[in-house]
Structure 1
Amino acid sequence: MPAYALAHLHDPQVNEDILIYLERIQATLEPFGGRFVVHGPAVTVLEGEWPGSLVILEFPDREQAQGWYESRAYQEILPLRTRHIGGSAIIFDGVPPGFQPGQKAAALRAQAAG
């Protein structure tokens, strides 16, 4: 099942460190099968507030996503971003093939009924 790394970045500031980070990050993803799915698009806010920028990376599974984040290659360049851009980063699993939200609702109802 694919896994994703999501970063919600606040107040991005473009400077030399950020440019170096952008130039080097792809090489850190490749050994883990990672790829960019979303990188800083313009968004249409439908509910609430959305300050900042969004980045989503896809990996073959959670183990590969975690391995990438903890890798020496990525940890070496991470401070280039974190010194200049605040935000949050998470890793999460995608849904399996054939996922049906109605089935999830039924399971939750059954669980609540105890």
Structure 2
Amino acid sequence: MAPAYALAHLRRAPVHADVLEYLERIQSTLTPFGGRFIVHGGVVDVLEGSWPGDVVIIEFPDLTRARSWYQSSAYQEIKTLRTRHLTADVILVEGVEADHSSAQMAAALRRAGSR
């Protein structure tokens, strides 16, 4: 089973009391779904393009649990504390298995393209 990630690109904005409350409460919404922060607003070193703002990445055991967290009543209850004050792009994305190989992926794509 592949892990999944919730990724948010947050645009910088002044700190608001609602956002602080959101930060205080979010972990309790993640725990029941096995979610954990792996990136939470650390330094962003932009190598290509532009990236105004901060990055948050939350890891889940799988995509089903990531979706279940986002749709949960506990998360929906606090989500507006963030969305009223921060502009963001938020996605859920499935990760790869521990033994993933980009070379094997390329070989499979070559085989599929030759049919």
Q: Give yes or no for TM over 0.5.
A: yes
Displacement after TM superposition at 1:12 (Å): 3.1
Secondary structure of 1:29's partner?
helix
Residue 60 of structure 2 is matched in structure 1 by 59
Identical aligned pairs, as a percentage? 57
In structure 1, stretches of 5+ residues that fail to align are none
Number of aligned residues: 114
Structure 2 counterparts to residues 34-53 of structure 1, below 5 A: 34-53=35-54
Q: Which runs of 4+ in 1 moved over 4 A?
A: none
Kindly report the root-mean-square deviation, in angstroms, between the aligned alpha carbons of the 2 structures. 0.9
Structure 2 counterparts to residues 1-114 of structure 1, below 5 A: 1-114=2-115
CA distance in 2: counterparts of 1:50 and 1:39, whole angstroms: 15
User: TM-score with structure 1 length normalisation?
Assistant: 0.96
Letter in 1 for 2:39: V
